[in-house]
A and B are shown apart, each in its own frame.
Chain A
Amino acid sequence: MANVIVNRVQEFLKRFPPFSFLNQADLELVASQVEIQFLAESEILFRKNEVARPHFYILKEGQIGLYDHDELKDFCDEGDVFGVLALLGKRPYIYEAKIEKDSLVYSIPVAVFEEILDKNSKVALYFAAGFASGQVVIRQDLSTGQKARGVLKKENLDHSLLIFSDPSQIQFSEKVIQILPSATVQEAAQKMASASVSSIVVCQPDQIPLGIITDKDLRNKVVAQALPLDSSVEGVMTTPVITKKKGAGFSDLYLSMIKNRLHHLILTEDGSPNSPICGILSDHDVLLSMGNSPAVLIHALLNTEEISEMKSIRDRAETMLSYYLENEVAMDFVASVLTEINDVIIQQAVKIAQNALADQFPELKSLRFAFLCLGSEGREEQLLRTDLDNALLYEDPPQGLEAKAKDYFLQLGNKVIEALVACGFLPCPGEIMTSNPKWNQPLSRWKKHFTDWIYTPTPDAVLSASIFFDFRPVAGHTSLAEDLSLHIYDTIQKKKDFLSFLGQNAILTPPPLGFFKDLVVEKTQEHRDQFDIKTRAMLPLIDLARLLTLSYGVVGINNTFKRFEKLGELEPRNAELFTQAGKAYEILMRMRALEGLKHQNNGRYIRPENMGKLQRQLLKSTFAPIAELQELVRVRFQLDLLRA
């Protein structure tokens, strides 16, 4: 047993990554090798270009600034790991470490840690992802960061699976279709076909599973390879099989499917591959058990016109969302699924409203219109039911029908908003909704709005532009919206200055790079000491992406990360930056949504002190691309000239 002093050091270390990923023995080993020093304010721990010491550091107490010449690059406080270049490649220090407040510094010998780095992939990933302070060089690969976050939080993965942890809910087939190893692939396929299943287990006569053949195997290994139909199943089957005990908990079963990328998991008596088979669990079974798959939800939505039912389905979507977010499901997938669900709700609401008004306005039935989603829903980025932003656009009505059309569409707009509010969406505080006559207009009026905004870019106009330019037709006639899009792009071509105004707006909020102990937090009473992730990090990225795609005249891509993706194609020399920006945006979206789900609000304000160290580092890493993009925009649109 380690002595009290080693224990004391160990207790401190294990609170912080990467030490939190060490097992007891390694932790004790590391703790026992620590050296502790105390440095007073303004002392220098190491200097730039100095040869790396055989230690790296973790700050026990105090504050240390990392400087490149006189420029502050990073800031360490309790638990921050720094000076890691000694560990990674033994390069000279790239920053100077200056003590800002009296500091107690723990040095960890590189020699001890190198071995751990080799065998502990989590620790390696931690360093690879650049979480340690001062390792971050201008820009880091955010995808590694994302990956790391996914892996590093596997520990509490079970929490996210709690929603379906009741094993009694899992339905799986106890009657397993099986075949002897001596059989041919054709026999296997015939058996599968007659039982209409997608897999067959190859078993010995004593029911011990040897391998599995799935539809995919038949496609990839038999048909695609032109294998004779009388080939033995043994040559085709996937083997060995991964097995689990029949009564195992759902999360255990599901996790082993996820981890091993299995579509089918074989259940045996004692869980080992050497005991008789007694069931098979397919991902389809899992889906049904969850009851929350996108397909199930969308199907249910399409089959109801009952508002309360729609609300409850949308609530279930939220459960699914939190599961996706916790498990680091790719953001573009999560966003598309949620957008799809929101869109279906809107389409249903519009349909219900249309039906309700049909008898009252028979003459307007054929007048075309489009329901436009604006803002985040317009960009296909609305994960939570945050404020509704939408507008209604209708074909210019024939003479004499103007007043009636106005009345009809306003009633329609009102009904849709009411339905959406009943489904749990929040009304827009700025009244940018189809229920507002101002934003419920015929096409010609909309064209005029946009022309005015573009020709007279007052601050208000630029603000409106940032909301309305991301419109996306969700219900009604899409072609009307396309007409409007073309008008906008034509107008912008004629009035290029407009882009400079958008540009100025896009660089208004510099990234909160001073993100450390005194992170740029809000000062207002209501959100005191909270970090406004929307205004400070997401909006700048949204504005930048919009501006740059508009400048290329790209029509039809609203989504921020898709915009960055497109920009990467258009500008290969900046592709890397755009990729990082897109990744940063995904990270921010995920963080905000998780925060919102946790607190049942819009997730906009984050309390930095409640964030884990990893999360804070991850958040911090998203700021770098913002700064770089703002610089790029500043130069490209000559914004400094404009201001002068």
Chain B
Amino acid sequence: MSWWDIFRKSEDSRSYVREFLEKSKVKIPAIRRLDQLRFVVLDTETTGLDPTKDHILSFGAVKIENSKILVKSSMELYPESSRKIGKSAEIHGITQVPNPVRQEEFTKTILQYIGNSILVGQHIHFDKAMLEKITGIPSMPTITIDTANLALRLEKGPQAQWNQVAQKDYSLDSLCERFGIKADDRHTASGDAFLTAQLFLKLLKLAESKGILTYGELLKTY
């Protein structure tokens, strides 16, 4: 049985998926302080930019709790590709995947890992779409925060729109440079997740300085 079969059913039969969805129902109170929120900062490396065609080569993530990046929570996973293993990987230079994990295992691991944390990432919607595809959960109820968007709103005001700024000023590279984060070797999923996590800590601090102290206020800004 492949995960496609499971996908077709309206009620997911996989217990870990049900567990995840159940957990996600717990709403975070709007007045919860920022330092009490749990975040999972992540990044994925993919074969391309189209979630319908492309798939995840590697997944890197780290948790933030009590406003601290927990290095011990850092995770790096290389999901096995469902089709034509090797071809696209070779194109992207990843010929030897360290400890590839089967997709089912991958899904189980990351769903448990994410729980009802808030997902944070640079252009997180894309990563979320990729995760939805690989996990077979059509629309994950998980709350997300896009660091590029958050940076834009914090810097240019809550009404700021993307068409008012140069997109490239909000790339991970530009943001890291602006926020004084040394981006030594980019372009591994974990490496970028780590950079994004540091950026996010700084953005949270900037938010606090602008009087954004709670979850509700953060989401409103964002």
Q: A36-B198, A38-B198, A104-B198 are in contact. Are A5 and B60 (CB under 8 A)?
A: yes
**B12-20, B21-29, B69-77 - the one binding chain A:** B69-77
Interface residues of B in 191-218 (CB under 8 A from A): 191, 193-194, 197-198, 201-202, 204-205, 208-209
Interface: B107 (CB within 8 A): no
Residues of chain B lying within 8 A (CB to CB) of residue A34: 71-72
Interface: B47 (CB within 8 A): no
Shortest Cβ distance from B204 into A: residue: A38
Q: B193–A5 contact, CB under 8 A?
A: yes
Shortest Cβ distance from B35 into A: residue: A37
Shortest Cβ distance from B208 into A: residue: A40
Name B191's contact: one of A4, A39, A102 (CB within 8 Å).
A4
Interface: B158 (CB within 8 A): no
CA distance A352 to B74 in the complex (A): 76
Chain A nearest CB: distance from B168 CB in Å?
25
Interface residues of A in 145-161 (CB under 8 A from B): none
Interface residues of A in 39-86 (CB under 8 A from B): 39-40, 61
Chain A nearest CB: distance from B1 CB in Å?
31
Chain B nearest CB: distance from A297 CB in Å?
50
Q: Give per-residue flags for A1-30: 1 if the beta carbon is below 8 A from chain B beta carbons, else 0.
A: 101111011000000000000000000000
Q: A38–B202 contact, CB under 8 A?
A: yes
Residues of chain B lying within 8 A (CB to CB) of residue A33: 71-72
Main secondary structure of the interface of A (DSSP, over half): mixed
Residues of chain B lying within 8 A (CB to CB) of residue A8: 184, 191, 194
Q: A36–B190 contact, CB under 8 A?
A: no
Shortest Cβ distance from A107 into B: residue: B68
Interface: B81 (CB within 8 A): no
Name B74's contact: one of A5, A39, A40, A102 (CB within 8 Å).
A5
Residues of chain B lying within 8 A (CB to CB) of residue A37: 67-69, 201
CA distance A40 to B203 in the complex (A): 11
Q: A5-B71, A33-B72 are in contact. Are A40 and B209 (CB under 8 A)?
A: yes
Residues of chain B lying within 8 A (CB to CB) of residue A39: 205
Interface: B62 (CB within 8 A): yes
Interface: A210 (CB within 8 A): no
Interface: A488 (CB within 8 A): no
Q: A3–B74 contact, CB under 8 A?
A: yes
Interface: A478 (CB within 8 A): no
CA distance A155 to B76 in the complex (A): 35
Q: B69–A35 contact, CB under 8 A?
A: yes
Q: In this complex, which of A8, A31, A33, A34 has the most chain B Cβ atoms within 10 angstroms of its Cβ?
A: A8
Shortest Cβ distance from A61 into B: residue: B180
Interface: A32 (CB within 8 A): yes
Main secondary structure of the interface of B (DSSP, over half): mixed
Residues of chain B lying within 8 A (CB to CB) of residue A1: 98
Chain B nearest CB: distance from A214 CB in Å?
55
Q: B71–A6 contact, CB under 8 A?
A: yes
Chain A nearest CB: distance from B193 CB in Å?
7
Chain B nearest CB: distance from A38 CB in Å?
4
Q: A32-B71, A32-B72, A35-B68 are in contact. Are A5 and B194 (CB under 8 A)?
A: yes
Q: Give per-residue flags for A74-105: 1 if the beta carbon is below 8 A from chain B beta carbons, else 0.
A: 00000000000000000000000000001010
Residues of chain A lying within 8 A (CB to CB) of residue B204: 38
Q: A36–B68 contact, CB under 8 A?
A: yes
Q: B201–A36 contact, CB under 8 A?
A: yes
Shortest Cβ distance from B195 into A: residue: A8
Q: Give per-residue flags for B146-184: 1 if the beta carbon is below 8 A from chain A beta carbons, else 0.
A: 000000000000000000000000000000000010001
Chain B nearest CB: distance from A605 CB in Å?
31
Residues of chain A lying within 8 A (CB to CB) of residue B193: 5
CA distance A601 to B201 in the complex (A): 48
Q: A4-B76, A8-B194 are in contact. Are A38 and B205 (CB under 8 A)?
A: yes
Q: Give per-residue flags for A205-243: 1 if the beta carbon is below 8 A from chain B beta carbons, else 0.
A: 000000000000000000000000000000000000000
Chain A nearest CB: distance from B122 CB in Å?
16
Shortest Cβ distance from A4 into B: residue: B190
Q: A38-B198, A40-B205 are in contact. Are A4 and B60 (CB under 8 A)?
A: yes
Q: Give per-residue flags for B80-121: 1 if the beta carbon is below 8 A from chain A beta carbons, else 0.
A: 000000000000000000100000000000000000000000
Residues of chain A lying within 8 A (CB to CB) of residue B67: 37-38
Shortest Cβ distance from A106 into B: residue: B71
Name B201's contact: one of A4, A5, A38, A107 (CB within 8 Å).
A38
Residues of chain B lying within 8 A (CB to CB) of residue A38: 67, 198, 201-202, 204-205
Name B71's contact: one of A35, A40, A102, A104 (CB within 8 Å).
A35
Interface: B188 (CB within 8 A): yes
CA distance A40 to B206 in the complex (A): 9
Residues of chain A lying within 8 A (CB to CB) of residue B180: 61, 102
Shortest Cβ distance from B74 into A: residue: A5
CA distance A38 to B76 in the complex (A): 23
Name A5's contact: one of B62, B68, B98, B202 (CB within 8 Å).
B62
Q: A3–B68 contact, CB under 8 A?
A: no
Q: A4-B191, A61-B180 are in contact. Are A35 and B201 (CB under 8 A)?
A: no
Chain A nearest CB: distance from B197 CB in Å?
8
Residues of chain B lying within 8 A (CB to CB) of residue A35: 68-71
CA distance A34 to B76 in the complex (A): 17
Residues of chain A lying within 8 A (CB to CB) of residue B70: 35
Chain A nearest CB: distance from B99 CB in Å?
9
Residues of chain A lying within 8 A (CB to CB) of residue B76: 3-5
Q: In this complex, which of B75, B194, B197, B201 has the most chain A Cβ atoms within 10 angstroms of its Cβ?
A: B194
CA distance A37 to B193 in the complex (A): 16
CA distance A40 to B208 in the complex (A): 10
Q: In this complex, which of A3, A32, A36 has the most chain B Cβ atoms within 10 angstroms of its Cβ?
A: A3
Chain B nearest CB: distance from A155 CB in Å?
25
Shortest Cβ distance from A35 into B: residue: B68
Q: In this complex, which of B69, B75, B204 has the most chain A Cβ atoms within 10 angstroms of its Cβ?
A: B69
- Would you list 26 pairs from A and B whose C-beta atoms are within 8 A, ordered by A residue? A3-B74, A4-B76, A4-B190, A5-B60, A5-B62, A5-B71, A5-B74, A5-B190, A8-B184, A32-B72, A33-B71, A34-B72, A35-B69, A35-B70, A35-B71, A36-B69, A36-B201, A37-B67, A38-B201, A38-B204, A39-B205, A40-B209, A102-B202, A102-B205, A104-B198, A107-B68
> Using a CB–CB distance below 8 Å, which chain A residues touch chain B?
1, 3-6, 8-9, 31-40, 61, 102, 104, 107
In the A-B complex, list the 3 residue pairs whose CB atoms are closest, starting with the nearest.
A4-B190, A5-B74, A36-B69
> Using a CB–CB distance below 8 Å, which chain B residues touch chain A?
60, 62, 67-72, 74-76, 98, 180, 184, 188, 190-191, 193-194, 197-198, 201-202, 204-205, 208-209
